[in-house]
C-alpha cells in the first residue's frame, strides 16, 4: 500500500515537473540594462524605487517561466532579475517583452524559459571564464536543462561599463573569449548570441568603439540589435520602460528571422 501511494505521488510530481519545464530556454546576461531599470525613480529620500507598472507587453503568460535564484522553474513576472541582481532595484527589462513578442508572432512556438543572470555595473572582464559571474551563468544554464528543454540563445546587453580608454581597447578580445568559452563549456558549439548595441548618452568618448565592435561582430551565429534611439531614465544611462519593450521586441525579431525561430526543434 505504501509503495503504491509513493509511486503515485512520484508520478504526479514528475508530471508537474514536466509541465513546468520550458521547451525553449533563453539565457539573459550582461549588466543593468539587461536586468532592467525601467520604471525606476528616486523617492523623496533619494532611494531608488520601482513604480510597479507592468505594460501589456511585459505581462505574465502561462507559457513563460523563469529560473529563480534557487534554480527552480516558476511563472515569470517582472522584475525578472529581482532575486538575481539583488544589490540594485530592478524594474522592467527586455526579457518579458522578448518572450511575449515571440509567442505573439508564433503562437505554436511552445513554452519559453528565461534564465536571468545579469548583474548591474559589470565589465566584460568580470564575465571571463572562471569568474563568479561566468561560473554562475554556466551553472544556471546547466540547471535549466535538468528536466529537458533546449537552450535556444544567449541574450546579451552589456558594454556600458567598458567605455574607458583601456577597457574599450580590450573589449573585442574579451567578448570573443567569453562567447567562445561559453559555447565550449555548455557544449553548444553554435550557440546563437543576440546582443544589444549600447547607446547610453553618458558613456564617454569610447562608447562608439564598443558599439562598433558589437554592431560589426563577425560570427555566423551572432546578431546585434541597435538600441540607438532609446529614451532613458533621469540618469541618462538606463533605458526607460518604453525603450526596454522596444529592445525586447527587436531581440525577438532577430531571433525569429535568424535562428530558425519559426520551426523550434
In Å, how far from its chain's centre is CA 93? 8
- Count Cβ atoms within 10 A of the Cβ of residue 87 and give its class: 0-12 exposed, 13-18 middle, 19 or more buried: exposed
Angle at 140 between CA 92 and CA 98, to 5 degrees: 35
CATH number 3.40.50.300 is the correct assignment for the domain at 2-258:
no
Query: Looking at residue 132, what is its pLDDT?
Result: 98
What is the pTM (predicted TM-score) of this model?
Answer: 0.92
Read off the DSSP letter of residue 99: H
Q: Report the alpha-carbon distance of residue 128 to residue 173 in Å, rounded.
A: 11
CA of 92: how far to CAs of 58, 133, 206, in Å? 8, 22, 27
Annotated domain spans of the chain: 2-258
Query: Looking at residue 261, what is its pLDDT?
Result: 53
- Rounded (to 5) percent helix, strand, coil in the chain: 40, 20, 45
Predicted confidence pLDDT, tens digits, the chain (265 residues): 434 333 333 333 343 444 578 999 999 999 999 999 999 999 999 999 999 999 999 999 999 999 999 999 999 999 999 999 999 999 999 999 999 999 999 999 999 999 999 999 999 999 999 999 999 999 999 999 998 999 999 999 999 999 999 999 999 999 999 999 999 999 999 999 999 999 986 667 899 999 999 999 999 999 999 999 999 999 999 999 999 999 999 999 999 999 965 544 4
Query: Looking at residue 205, what is its pLDDT?
Result: 82
Do the Cβ atoms of 51 and 240 come closer than 8 Å? no
CA of 9: how far to CAs of 16, 80, 104, in Å? 11, 31, 36
Catalytic residues: 32, 235, 238
Amino acid at each position: 500500500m505504501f509503495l503504491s501511494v509513493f509511486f503515485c505521488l512520484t508520478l504526479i510530481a514528475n508530471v508537474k515537473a514536466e509541465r513546468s519545464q520550458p521547451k525553449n530556454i533563453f539565457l539573459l546576461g550582461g549588466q543593468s540594462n539587461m536586468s532592467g531599470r525601467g520604471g525606476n525613480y528616486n523617492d523623496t529620500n533619494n532611494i531608488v524605487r520601482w513604480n510597479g507598472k507592468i505594460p501589456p507587453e511585459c505581462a505574465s503568460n502561462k507559457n513563460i517561466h523563469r529560473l529563480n535564484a534557487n534554480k527552480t522553474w516558476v511563472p515569470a513576472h517582472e522584475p525578472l532579475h529581482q532575486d538575481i541582481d539583488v544589490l540594485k532595484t530592478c524594474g522592467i527589462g527586455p526579457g518579458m517583452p522578448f518572450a511575449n513578442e515571440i509567442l505573439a508572432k508564433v503562437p505554436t512556438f511552445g513554452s519559453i524559459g528565461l534564465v536571468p543572470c545579469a548583474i548591474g555595473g559589470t565589465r566584460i572582464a568580470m564575465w571571463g571564464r572562471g569568474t563568479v559571474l561566468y561560473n554562475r551563468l554556466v551553472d544556471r544554464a546547466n540547471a535549466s536543462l535538468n528536466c529537458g528543454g533546449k537552450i535556444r540563445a544567449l541574450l546579451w546587453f552589456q558594454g556600458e561599463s567598458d567605455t574607458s580608454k583601456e577597457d574599450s581597447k580590450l573589449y573585442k578580445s574579451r567578448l570573443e573569449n567569453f562567447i567562445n568559452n561559453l559555447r565550449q563549456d555548455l557544449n553548444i558549439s553554435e550557440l546563437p548570441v543576440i546582443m544589444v548595441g549600447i547607446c547610453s548618452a553618458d558613456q564617454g568618448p569610447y562608447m562608439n568603439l564598443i558599439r562598433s565592435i558589437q554592431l560589426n561582430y563577425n560570427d555566423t551565429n551572432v546578431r546585434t540589435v541597435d538600441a540607438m534611439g532609446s529614451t532613458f531614465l533621469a540618469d541618462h544611462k538606463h533605458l526607460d520602460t518604453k525603450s526596454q519593450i522596444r529592445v525586447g521586441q527587436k531581440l525577438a525579431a532577430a531571433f525569429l528571422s535568424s535562428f530558425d525561430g519559426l520551426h523550434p526543434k
